[in-house]
Amino acid sequence: MDTIHFLFFGFGTLFSPTILFACFIGVLIGTLVGVLPGIGPLGTMAILLPVTFAMDPTTAIVMLAGIFYGAQYGGSTTSILVNIPGEASSIVTCMDGYQMARKGRAGPALGIAAIGSFIGGTLSVIGLMFLTPPLAKLAIGFAAPEIFALVVFGLMMVCSIGSGSTLKALIMATLGIFVSLIGREPMQGFARFTFGSFTFSDGVGLIPVAVGMFGIGELLTNIEAMAKQEVFKTDLRHLFPSLRDWYDSRWPIIRGTLLGFFIGIIPGPGMIVSTFFSYWTEKHLSRHPEKFGTGVIEGVAGPETANNAAATGAMVPLFALGVPPNPVMAMLLGAFIIHGIQPSPFFITEHPRLFWGIIASMYIGNVLLLVLNLPLVGIWVRVLKIPHRLLFLLIIICCFIGVYSLNNNFYELYIMIFFGIAGYILRKLEYDPGPFILAMVLGPMMETNFRQSLAISRGDPAIFLQRPISATLLILVLLLLLSMLLFRFRRRRKEG
């Protein structure tokens, strides 16, 4: 009953023209970046974060969250029509979505992707609404050792499940922690690695680094490649799936929602993992697995539902525990901190207007996205035809002005350029910048809680093992490390 009461309170918050407009702009930009390959929600959120400074926190977070879940909708359009995933979480959609387009069934593919996304997105908001408050109540008992262990566990999961080499992900996370240590440390105010620079004394800002790595870095990669823009010409008049399509998609959509939501909660790249898992599940449960990859609607419905459900699921640990499970959520955490809000288990009780406003905005946002992605899909197809050079120029100018306007500091532009070049080179060397940003956000939390834990225990490091939750999480981290070593050892033995 309380939940319904609070939901109405959230809708009351939302029905202000400013917040509704911010929600619309957020999902519109989200769909745009989802449609356009090359720039993702993380980079966009970093670029637009300075623009939110003048807004009140609810308006700002509603817009940024809209970008995040909106991008999951848009990604399918490019996957189906161009065979290039607009988002990493739409890679799987290329397999059957593009094949459906080749068979002249782009309309039903786009239709079921949008409808599945809507169902997955909306049902998982219900999950978020009912699961987060009790989880937060449970986490109120968390002290410094538990939070430290949770942060270590989250980082370890992101590094081990992420794309590419775990070792390289761990290196990136360590570098992120190191960069977060630059500046005056929080407990004694001692300046570390500032080399006498005034700019560095407050630390290296998250926004210049994130805009550099994810904005400039990704753009340089795209500028180097400058792929040809080819959009598949197809009939988009009949978007609504047939009765047969509905029948075939009903279980993939339900399973995709459940899989996506629960995988999204686990720290790691939940959106991507959930799509592969959903596709794998549908293929194995199908009566005709051999047809997967040739243009079956289940191969689009399941994964597209799963990535939207996972995007919402990823918000559970952020709102309930104050710990982001992936780099995009770390950016959202950065936005909270910039607006003077520290997510923690007390977040819902201390900021009910913000939490329930976000929940309500996600219901409205999903409806807006359905409208944007079904009747207006033709507009996004035209967007795909805008010359890349103009889009790249627009993004670079936004990066440049966004970073400068933070503090009117030229050095932050140099920081952005430095991390832009670093991000470009590191991508070529197959290092994923995601763990870097996540570690940069979590680094100070990790250090403060580690130091507080030792202060509580009067210097006894056994405190981490004496408390059941922190001990369990740290043992899981150890098991994860051991399993990686074991896996490598077995693979070497197999290779002879």
Partner 1 sequence: VIALYKRDSVTALCWVVLGLIIVLKATTFPMGIWESIGPAIFPLGAGIVLIVLGGILFFQSRDKGQRGPNERRAPLIPRGTAFARVAMSVAAILLAATFLQFLGFFLTMFCLALSLLRAIQARGWGVDLFYAAVFTAGSYLLFQLLLKVSFPVGLLGF
Instruction: List contacts with partner 1 (CB under 8 A).
Output: 51, 54, 167-168, 170-171, 174-175, 177-178, 181, 185, 187-188, 190, 192-193, 216, 219-220, 223-226, 387-390, 392-394, 396-397, 400-401, 404-405, 408, 410, 413-414, 417, 420-421, 424-425, 428-430, 446-447, 450-451, 454-455, 458-461, 495
At closest approach, how far in Å is the CB of 454 from partner 1? 6
Side chain identity at residue 391, one-letter code: L
How far apart are alpha carbons 74 and 26 in whole angstroms?
13
How far apart are alpha carbons 110 and 375 in whole angstroms?
11
At closest approach, how far in Å is the CB of 79 from partner 1? 24
How far apart are alpha carbons 365 and 67 in whole angstroms?
10
At closest approach, how far in Å is the CB of 261 from partner 1? 33
Q: At what angle do helices 57-82 and 106-139 cross, to 10 degrees?
A: 150
At closest approach, how far in Å is the CB of 379 from partner 1? 20
At closest approach, how far in Å is the CB of 96 from partner 1? 29
Nearer to partner 1 by C-beta: 300 or 416? 416
How far apart are alpha carbons 352 and 354 in whole angstroms?
5
Nearer to partner 1 by C-beta: 145 or 299? 145
**At a CB cut-off of 8 Å and minimum separation 6, what does 81 contact?**
98, 101, 106, 110, 231, 232, 234, 381, 384
- DSSP labels, 96-137: HHHHHHHTT-HHHHHHHHHHHHHHHHHHHHHHHHHHHHHHHH
How far apart are alpha carbons 464 and 432 in whole angstroms?
30
Q: Residue 274: helix, strand or coil by DSSP?
A: helix
How far apart are alpha carbons 354 and 151 in whole angstroms?
24
Nearer to partner 1 by C-beta: 225 or 376? 225
Nearer to partner 1 by C-beta: 328 or 437? 437
The DSSP bridge partners found for residue 191 are: 184
Nearer to partner 1 by C-beta: 140 or 386? 386
How far apart are alpha carbons 92 and 251 in whole angstroms?
18
Please answer whether residues 106 and 88 qualify as being in contact, where contact means their C-beta atoms are separated by less than 8 angstroms: no
At closest approach, how far in Å is the CB of 78 from partner 1? 20
Nearer to partner 1 by C-beta: 370 or 415? 415
Q: Which tokens is 42 given?
A: 């993380």
At closest approach, how far in Å is the CB of 150 from partner 1? 17
Nearer to partner 1 by C-beta: 167 or 376? 167
At closest approach, how far in Å is the CB of 401 from partner 1? 5
How far apart are alpha carbons 298 and 228 in whole angstroms?
30
Nearer to partner 1 by C-beta: 159 or 316? 159
Q: Residue 463: helix, strand or coil by DSSP?
A: helix
SS (H, E, C) 31-86: HHHHHCCCCCHHHHHHHHCHHHHHCCHHHHHHHHHHHHHHHHHHHHHHHHHHCCCC
The single residue listed with the structure tokens 């080399």 is 195
Nearer to partner 1 by C-beta: 113 or 172? 172
Nearer to partner 1 by C-beta: 184 or 353? 184
At closest approach, how far in Å is the CB of 230 from partner 1? 16
At closest approach, how far in Å is the CB of 351 from partner 1? 26
